[in-house]
Structure 1
Amino acid sequence: MGSIYVSFIVKSVTVCTENTDVLEKSFQTIYKPVIKYLYSHPSFPLSFAFSGAQIQFFKKRKNELITIIRELVDRKQVEILGGAYNDPLLPLLNSVDRNGQIDILTSEIRQTFGKRPRGMTLFQDCWDSSLVNNIHTCGIEYVILNNSLLPDSKRSFLPIFMSDLGKNVDIFPYYNELQPDSEMLAEEFIYNIEKAVLKVEKKDTHVQLDADRIIAITLTPQQAAKLNECKWFEALGKYIDENKEGRVKLTTLNAFRTSGVKMKISSYVPVGISDEVSAVIQRANNDTRNKFPNTIYDYMFAFPASQKLYNRMMFTSLMVNQYKSDKMRKKTAREKLWQAQNGMSLLSTSSEPLRNSLYRQQAYKYLTEAEKMLRSDGTFKESVTCFDYDNDGIDEYVCRMEQYFAYISLAGGSVPELDVIKDCFNYSDNLKRHFDFDGYEDSYDRGFFVDHLFTDSQLDLYVRGEPAGDGVFSRIQYSQLKYSGQHHEVQLCARAVWKPTGQTVYLRKKYVINSTGMYVQYIIKNESDKPLNAKFAVESNICDISFVTTKKSGFSIETVDNGDVVSLDTEKSTQELNKKGKLTNVQIVRLSDKPNGISFVFEPNEKCSYCHTPIKVNRPGFNQEKIEQVGLTYSSALFWDINIEPGRETEKSINFTIIPVKKIKA
């Protein structure tokens, strides 16, 4: 019978922000003690996966670690695995970005540690069969994947050989069900390994070829540190050295490959993602019986905020890859794009759900900085273009203006994204409330210029921040009436039946886009045979882009009501003021993000009422145990009383302006 080789692989520390505190802590608590052990125990092999950010941190601040790792690599005790530089979700990227991210990390590892990586890991095991071509093209010979992505019949502790369109790659499955813990004895671990292999050998014919088995086991950096701290690695190494006649031996994956592999199993792995993310998808969809493999696309369908970020990511990638004027400018913009492609920004896999919004905003910042770099060559021209921006089969209207990037959606006729160029943030990155976590369920997407038609009682609920009817136009699909890219004008229309009275209402909505904002005009027509008496509200939602629970928000709200300037408390609803008959004669509203120096000004064409509600959004972490606030949305609405006779119409309009202001620390 062949030997059983075990290879331990320590995963990378994934970071999404520029904060190096996490990397410093991981060095002191994880890598320093583990590397110290390896240096003093030459017979114990171990593999490491490092992200690009980790390597850069080590080069700048921890040269002594690099020197020691180079020595361990030279004596073939340690293997450094490759991957993609910024830990992106590779199947989501264009081929040029896939190759670029893999190549740059490969080059960084070769220059830093003196040896080119032969294998690679994937962030959250995000896999697609099309990656075989990219992996092969980049000179990577094998990839490590979770065994749950393989059919049961292929889980036989042998390397997998996969071919796609004439290119091939080896796959080493890792088996985390055999993962040790600090309480487990080394003898128990060896027993479990041998028991699992014997069970497989009884069912297949490969044992007749005396094939050696390979078991890869991945460890998080925290798990590796804990095992080292309790001297588990030392106990395992000692046990194996004392039982040299036993079947179990330690190795690295590349050492196993180069020693002469007798058997590989041909298989085809079409698509998949880690068990951790799959569990999140199933919980989000309330579908635990689905036997089909989950994918990263299923995740984005379940979490629209991630889908919106991905749409922006793909648009920026398109702009960067098509840019031809200045090579250095293109290179800098591409680096920003690759930073934004970090998988943490889309998946937010941290144990603290608070980081969800922060990571997304960091990605939006990088993407806007990439576009800003391309714009600064002096050839930028403002444009409003019509195409399917978010890949939903329906055209959107993309506005690339001097001070902002935005797009107008036919779904609700609203603006789902607004990236301000000056401070590089998306102020429309709003989450929907979920009943299980927030006590309320939002039935529409929160963006800018969301339209509602309410009765008096529905408006009372709305002012309190509670769901109020269906709002009619907030959940309807608008149609294009007119589009003029030359004049930066978009006209939409929608016809709906207002359920409280059964009346048919027709709404024409015109956007005139300019360098500093938008002019939005509404023409509401009563197509019924009786008078229409309702409340017409236009809602705009601005997210607190740098929301944290440890400090006070830097946002402020000022209105001009009956000629008097009124400053509102952003942390409180205006419900009490509205009950007292205040804010009923508003001429202008200004919401300011003082720490980032941006003000949003809404100026109606005629005096109206105004209400403000802070919307707090809660979410759980991936383990579903910790639920806490992850975001804050400032929901503001201008509303009018409308009384329209049959066949008649009325007109309302809002002038929206983005104004840079002096930054003031919160």
Structure 2
Amino acid sequence: MSATFVLVLHNHQPVGNFPFVFEQAYQRAYSPMLDAIERHGHVRLALHYSGPLLDWLEAERPAFLDRLRVLAEQGRVELLSGGYYEPILPAIPDRDKIGQIERLNTYLKRRMHVRARGAWIAERVWEPVLARPLRDAGIEYTLLDDTQFASVGIAPERSYGYFVTEEEGRALALFPMHMALRHAIPFRPVDEVLALMSEAQSAAADPVLVMGDDGEKFGNWPGTYGSVYEQGWLDRFFAAIARAPWLEMRTPAEVLDARPPLGRIYVPNGSYQEMIEWSGGLWRNFLVRYPEANQLHKKMLDVSQRVSALEGRLGERARDELWQGQCNCPYWHGVFGGIYLNSIREANFEHLIAAERIADHKEYGDHDWIHAQTRDLDCDGMQEALVATESYSAIVAPSGGAISELDLKATNTNLTDVLARRPEAYHRALRERARMRADEAAGGTRSIHDIQTVKEEGLEALLAYDDHRRGMLVDHFFDPDVTLDAVVDNRDVERGDFLEAPYELVLKRRRQAAAVALRRIGRVRGAAGTQRALEIEKTLKFAAGSTRIVIHYALRNRDTEPLRARFAVEFNLGLQAGDASDRYIHSRGRHLQPPNAGARGISREREISAVDEWRGFEWTLRCGVETEFWRYGVETVSNSEEGIERTYQGTCMLATWIVDIAPGLAWEGGLEMRLDALVHAGRRSDIETGK
């Protein structure tokens, strides 16, 4: 008897990743892997490269692609298709699923001279309905983890081959990938890995063993370059396979052509085991855990609908922008940074806004215009207000009466792209690590020195959590003597019940203007637990041809006792870098001290501005009276492949006033936001709109 080993490597870099990251992965993983394949003539395997990585290779390392084409033409490498920009396929419309797969099919045919038969599914996130669009895009098979097959009773000894599923009569082959091999390769000694493969021979006749995983684990994951290449693990592994008379390497397509399926199967929703744990059972749960991911996702769906109506070159450009905004990485979080990486979130928003602008230009031309509507944009059961002009678009949510998204179109920037601070499961381990190190210092036994890898010490001190989503016009009430540090740490400082509470929302439209009126009667807690009934009314005014948003507040004491509190209106700005010299805070040209976007500071001003010279915008808030502005950098603590790290998410500005409101009376205040694009700055100051 013999066994067949199918090796499948998935290689990917996110849209918007930094060039040095591409280069490092190329030098440490992609290039040396190709070198090893060329050295070992018996090796046959399948490789998948995502569109962002192929685009980078085409621009920076075209000779690599030439070598890859030769191996593909020789039949030693089978190249897999998939969604071009690596989307989570169940999370995007069918028209985009098929379009993205067909684009990668076309690229492989043109550049590599091969017809793709299989597809790699991003993060192996599977839903049974995928069989139909995959087949409609010309795909014959895909690969899923064996744990997904186990969920319908397929024991490991029955999973050495492939099955067939279908949706609406479209049949698709499914290869189980074996988790035990994925965990062993390339981390266990070579003889242990081959012994693991050999065990399959006693369980099944002529078994097919499939190992599929990230190509980056061969050199680019921490510590693997030394073990895999410098210490020769990969060469020993390939040589051992060549010496084993009972073992041969084949590509998935070769197995598909040579063997019948093991049977018909219907695999339920799922993914690999770790993803199931991170998501809580279903990938879509990330859209619940992280409202910011849901905001990005629902914007993507809306843009997809608009772009679907565009035709010709205009439609092609818009779809390319849309598809880049569907890259999966900022929609979730696991062992890699994911949604916590602000540059990755920014890239998706940038491309979605660019696609939106193409649709805007098609619909409205070069004229000043305004469009206002109410609908449930984020699918939370409440109607948001969407106000868009030629300069910006704003989503005003009844939840908290806040602006949940504010896009500056000239720079394709979501100004409110700031992730809230939330607890993660590994935060408990981080605190435990700090406690055990403290015990060590006190002479205790060192029992879990490496419970978590951290990129800097003291991260447990940054573990503060937010009670709300970060946006603009978030209404707070604090004690008058509250400190900025207490607010930053969120140490039981909130006295109002307005955060994320439902406001009444009314949209009023005029020909070239719109207004959103928000109202809520809530309570503010005072000394000794006393409660004061308070009504907030705020109105936002928008106009075509203007970059200003005018806001009016009225706070009415609906109680029989006076109210005294510090009223604070929160604005969050995603400035991408908290300590960069080209991101800073100023007031009428005078740099505030310290000026960096991530710094804490308090100053009394009537106007404050945040500047991002890199992306090319300036945000200004002007107040009708002198205001005490509080500001600080929002920092999260999150996991990454190199360990737990702090990440700057954005800058929080609080416009604060001490308010004394007698019963039946009101405090009123006016604000004005101005959004300006800077000349000769910004990464994408404009796009082609077909003008």
TM-score by structure 1 length? 0.86
Q: 1:187 to 1:593 in 2, by over 3 A?
A: closer
Q: 1:334 to 1:348 in 2, by over 3 A?
A: farther
Partner in structure 2 of residue 358 of structure 1: 343
Partner in structure 2 of residue 547 of structure 1: 577
> Secondary structure of 2:197's partner?
helix
Structure 1 segment 54-453 matched on structure 2, within 5 A: 54-151=53-150, 153-154=153-154, 155=156, 156=158, 157-179=160-182, 180-181=184-185, 184=188, 186-199=190-203, 201=204, 212-224=206-218, 227=228, 230-232=231-233, 234-236=235-237, 238-244=239-245, 246=246, 248-261=247-260, 263-282=261-280, 294-323=281-310, 327-347=312-332, 351=336, 356-377=341-362, 379-380=364-365, 381-434=369-422, 436=427, 438-453=462-477
Name whichever of 626-635 and 81-90 sits farther off. 626-635
What is the letter of the counterpart of residue 508 of structure 1? E
> Secondary structure of 1:150's partner?
helix
Distance 2:115 2:144 in 1: 20
Q: Structure 2: which 5+ residue stretches go unaligned?
A: 220-226, 428-459, 684-691
Structure 1 segment 508-657 matched on structure 2, within 5 A: 508-514=537-543, 515-544=546-575, 546-547=576-577, 551-552=580-581, 554-558=583-587, 567-571=592-596, 572-575=599-602, 583=604, 586-605=605-624, 607-622=625-640, 626-657=643-674
Distance 1:387 1:33 in 2: 52
> Secondary structure of 2:11's partner?
coil
1:474 aligns with 2:490: no
What is the letter of the counterpart of residue 498 of structure 1? V
The answer to whether the 8 A contact 2:6-2:249 is kept is yes
What is the letter of the counterpart of residue 336 of structure 1? E
Q: Following TM superposition, by how much is the alpha carbon of 1:637 offset from its aligned partner in structure 2, in angstroms?
A: 2.4
Distance 1:548 1:540 in 2: 16
The answer to whether the 8 A contact 1:339-1:366 is kept is yes
Q: Following TM superposition, by how much is the alpha carbon of 1:391 offset from its aligned partner in structure 2, in angstroms?
A: 1.1
Partner in structure 1 of residue 479 of structure 2: 455
> Secondary structure of 2:421's partner?
coil
Distance 1:416 1:626 in 2: 31
The percentage of aligned residue pairs carrying the same residue is 19
Q: Following TM superposition, by how much is the alpha carbon of 1:4 offset from its aligned partner in structure 2, in angstroms?
A: 2.2
> Secondary structure of 1:440's partner?
coil
> Secondary structure of 1:639's partner?
strand
Q: Following TM superposition, by how much is the alpha carbon of 1:485 offset from its aligned partner in structure 2, in angstroms?
A: 6.3
Query: Can you list the C-alpha shifts for 1:125-172, whole angstroms capped at 9, x where unaligned?
Result: 111112111101011010011112222531422312112222221110
Structure 1 segment 487-506 matched on structure 2, within 5 A: 487-500=513-526, 501-506=530-535
> Secondary structure of 1:140's partner?
coil
Q: 1:395 to 1:19 in 2, by over 3 A?
A: same
Distance 1:372 1:482 in 2: 23
Name whichever of 650-659 and 401-410 sits farther off. 650-659
Distance 1:242 1:22 in 2: 36
Q: 1:55 to 1:431 in 2, by over 3 A?
A: closer
Distance 1:236 1:176 in 2: 18
Q: 1:353 to 1:80 in 2, by over 3 A?
A: closer
Query: Can you list the C-alpha shifts for 1:97-144, whole angstroms capped at 9, x where unaligned?
Result: 100000000111111221101111111111111211110101101001
Partner in structure 2 of residue 204 of structure 1: none
Query: Can you list the C-alpha shifts for 1:570-609, whole angstroms capped at 9, x where unaligned?
Result: 444334x5xxxxx2xx43333332333322222223x132
Q: 1:329 to 1:349 in 2, by over 3 A?
A: farther
What is the letter of the counterpart of residue 211 of structure 2? I
Q: Structure 1: which 5+ residue stretches go unaligned?
A: 202-210, 283-293, 578-582
Query: Can you list the C-alpha shifts for 1:488-522, whole angstroms capped at 9, x where unaligned?
Result: 11112101122223221122221111231311112
Name whichever of 426-435 and 401-410 sits farther off. 426-435
Distance 1:98 1:636 in 2: 40
Q: Following TM superposition, by how much is the alpha carbon of 1:663 offset from its aligned partner in structure 2, in angstroms?
A: 5.7
Q: Following TM superposition, by how much is the alpha carbon of 1:462 offset from its aligned partner in structure 2, in angstroms?
A: 5.8
What is the letter of the counterpart of residue 320 of structure 1? V
The answer to whether the 8 A contact 1:160-1:170 is kept is yes
Distance 2:682 2:118 in 1: 47
Name whichever of 296-305 and 412-421 sits farther off. 296-305
Distance 2:255 2:381 in 1: 48
Number of residue-to-residue matches in the alignment:
623
Distance 1:455 1:138 in 2: 60
> Secondary structure of 1:646's partner?
coil
What is the letter of the counterpart of residue 610 of structure 2? L
What is the letter of the counterpart of residue 525 of structure 1? R
Query: Can you list the C-alpha shifts for 1:303-361, whole angstroms capped at 9, x where unaligned?
Result: 2222222122222112211335xx21121111011112111232366746797111001
Distance 2:371 2:502 in 1: 24
Distance 1:629 1:90 in 2: 30
Q: Following TM superposition, by how much is the alpha carbon of 1:235 offset from its aligned partner in structure 2, in angstroms?
A: 4.3
Query: Can you list the C-alpha shifts for 1:269-294, whole angstroms capped at 9, x where unaligned?
Result: 22113333333335xxxxxxxxxxx2
Q: Following TM superposition, by how much is the alpha carbon of 1:534 offset from its aligned partner in structure 2, in angstroms?
A: 3.0
> Secondary structure of 1:359's partner?
helix
Q: 1:295 to 1:197 in 2, by over 3 A?
A: farther
Distance 2:618 2:59 in 1: 39
The answer to whether the 8 A contact 1:559-1:567 is kept is no
The answer to whether the 8 A contact 1:431-1:631 is kept is no
Q: 1:101 to 1:350 in 2, by over 3 A?
A: farther
Q: Following TM superposition, by how much is the alpha carbon of 1:70 offset from its aligned partner in structure 2, in angstroms?
A: 3.0
What is the letter of the counterpart of residue 498 of structure 2? F
The answer to whether the 8 A contact 2:84-2:104 is kept is yes
The answer to whether the 8 A contact 1:525-1:648 is kept is yes
What is the letter of the counterpart of residue 126 of structure 2? W
TM-score by structure 2 length? 0.83
The answer to whether the 8 A contact 1:10-1:224 is kept is no
Q: Provide the alpha-carbon RMSD of the alignment.
A: 2.9
What is the letter of the counterpart of residue 135 of structure 1? L
Name whichever of 59-68 and 140-149 sits farther off. 59-68
Partner in structure 2 of residue 5 of structure 1: 4
> Secondary structure of 2:420's partner?
coil
Distance 1:239 1:432 in 2: 50
Q: Following TM superposition, by how much is the alpha carbon of 1:556 offset from its aligned partner in structure 2, in angstroms?
A: 1.9
What is the letter of the counterpart of residue 188 of structure 1? E
Distance 1:350 1:100 in 2: 30
